[in-house]
Amino acid sequence: MNTHFRPVQSEHPVRDHLGDSTTARPLTTTTAIHTEPLPYGFIALFQTIETLRVPDRSFIIQFVAPHPGAGTSTVAAGFAIAAAQSYRRPVLLIDAGAAYAAGPLEPVPTDTAYLMKSTLRPRAEPFIDPAETSLENRLADLRRHYHAIVIDCPALGRSAEAVTIARHCDGTALIAAAARSSAREMLAARDAITQVGGQILGAVFNRERSYRPRWLGGQG
């Protein structure tokens, strides 16, 4: 896995619902606790994003691309594994690839210690109200149980729900396929998210998408 993360220049760390503005110190590679092989690109991505957030507070991060095929699920899973191995505290990876869900989230264990995964289950009726607060309430409840919540979202060009989810997160990382994603697509994605109150952390330029953990059907 080979990624490059370009943060958005900002004087502020990731939003914190309690208003603390302290910036976290970056982790070093010796801080990570590995329970399965993990490409260094994911560790470096985690360490970079770690410097942007408020320390010792639970946080929610969204990974989303402007178009399908950018490797969003691979990057989100790799980040979640790195977070679980480094924090050694509960981390939840949510697959939001299904339609916007009204039902409960049911986390299940993975092969990685401290990491749980869950899926947003499809609603019976079409997504209608982008201002509804049910997801916000559920995420607020999950904050009490997980140190980090990682949301793997479908591409913005395929799902209007991804923009709505952004407003309930502390930050969004945009995924760009290095050889495919255009500057116009990335800027349009940035604008769509910031217009609803989302906060862009930066862009992940994904050059390889071959790594998948065992619990996602890969070799680990």
Predicted pLDDT at 31: 32
Say which range, 8-22, 128-142, 154-168, has the weakest mean pLDDT: 8-22
Domains of the chain by start residue, with CATH:
3-216 (3.40.50.300)
pLDDT cut 90: percent of the chain above it: 35
**pTM: predicted TM-score of the whole model, two decimal places:** 0.74
* Rounded CA separation 6/28 (Å): 19
**What is the residue-averaged pLDDT of the chain?**
75
Predicted pLDDT at 193: 95
- 79 by Cβ neighbours in 10 Å (0-12 / 13-18 / 19+) ranks as buried
Closest CA to 56 of 92, 95, 100, 25: 25
Number of Cβ within a 10 Å radius of residue 62? 29
